[in-house]
Amino acid sequence: MDNAHPHANFAASVFKNIDDARDVLSPLLPTEVRDAIDWQSLSVVDASFVDEKLKDYHSDLLFKAQDTSGEQMDNYILLEHKSHPDLGILKQLLAYQKEVYARQEKYAPVLPVVFYHGKERWNARTEFAKDAPHALSYYALNFRYVLISLRDTDLENLKFSLTATAIVHIFKEIWDIADLNKLRAYFALIAVLFSRTGTEDILKRILMYIYRVHDIQPVTVKEIIEVATTREGGIAMSTAELLEKQGIEKGREEGREEGRQEGIKKGLRRAVINLRSKGFPAQEVAEITGLTLDQIQQIEDEYE
C-alpha cells in the first residue's frame, strides 16, 4: 500500500466494499437522489477502460445501480474522493464522464459525486457552465455534481450503520485525531464495534489510517481503546506491527529498484566506453544508447 496517500488509500478500501459504500453514501446524498437509487443493486464497475491520457484524472470509483422508477434503467455513480479543495474538479469529472458515455450502447445517466472531507471550505464551482451567457445556456454543455462535504455536514442528524458511523467520523476527525481528547471521544463513539464479530478488518483499516496520518504511539492508542471499550487493546499494537512490516518491505523493494536502476546506469557507462574505444562517433553512440551527447561526454571525462 502507498503510504504517501493515506486518505486516498483509506477511501478506496472503504468504497470498494459495496456494503460500506452503500451505508456511507446513502445517508449523505440529497433525499431525491437517495430515493431514486435502488441501493440493493449497487455494484462496482471495472473502470480500467480509462484512457492513458486520463490517468491523472482517474476517478476513485464508478458504480452502477438500477433506479426505483421500475423502468430497469442503469444509472452510473461517478465517485471522486477529495481530501483538499480542487479547482480542477469540473475538468476531471468532464473528462471521465466523456469516457463513460462514449462506451455506452444505450444511454444511462452518470451522476458525479464528490466526497470531500478536508478542513478548508470547498471553494470550487459545482456547475460546469454556470457562467454561460443566458442566450446560449440552453444549448451549451453543462452538468453539476453532488458535493458531499463532511466539513459542513451535521453527522448527528443522520442515521448510519455502526460501521459507517466509524468511517464517516474518522474521515471528518482525521485532521485533529492526534489530540488525545478527540481520540478518546472517537473510540468511545465506536466502542461497540470492538465487541462485534466481523469488525476486525475495518478496525485495523481505521487504525492503519490514523497511524499513517499522525505520529501517535501505538501503546497510547492501546491504552485509550482499553479505557473506552473495557476490552483488551492488542489490535492497536498488532496493526502498528503490520504497518512497520509493510514499511520494511516497501524499503526493501525500493532498495531493489534502486539496485536495478544502478545496474542499468553501470551497463550504459560500460557500453559508452567500449563503443568509444572502438572508434564509434559520439553521435552514433548516442543513438545506440539513448543518451545525450553531454551525458556521453560526462562519462568519458569521468573514465579518464
Using one digit for the tens of pLDDT, what is the confidence trace for 38-93?
Answer: 999 999 997 666 555 555 555 579 999 999 887 777 899 999 999 999 999 999 99
Distance CA 78, CA 44 (A): 10
Residue 281 pLDDT: 79
What is the percent of the chain where pLDDT is above 90? 46
Q: Write the pLDDT tens digit of every residue in 103-129.
A: 888 999 999 999 999 999 999 999 998
Q: Are 90 and 128 in contact (CB under 8 A)?
A: yes
Structural domain boundaries in the chain: 6-167
Q: Are 276 and 285 in contact (CB under 8 A)?
A: yes
Distance CA 64, CA 75 (A): 6
201-204, Cβ contacts within 8 angstroms, sequence gap of 24 or more: 202/20, 202/163, 202/166, 202/167, 203/166, 203/235, 204/235, 204/238, 204/239, 204/242
- Three-state secondary-structure class, residue 278: coil
What's the mean pLDDT when you consider all of the chain? 84
Stretch 247-254: mean pLDDT:
49
Q: Which one is predicted more confidently, 58 or 204?
A: 204
Q: Is the dihedral of CA 21, 27, 29, 33 positive or negative?
A: positive
Please determine, for residue 37, whether its predicted confidence score (pLDDT) is greater than 70: yes
Distance CA 11, CA 241 (A): 22
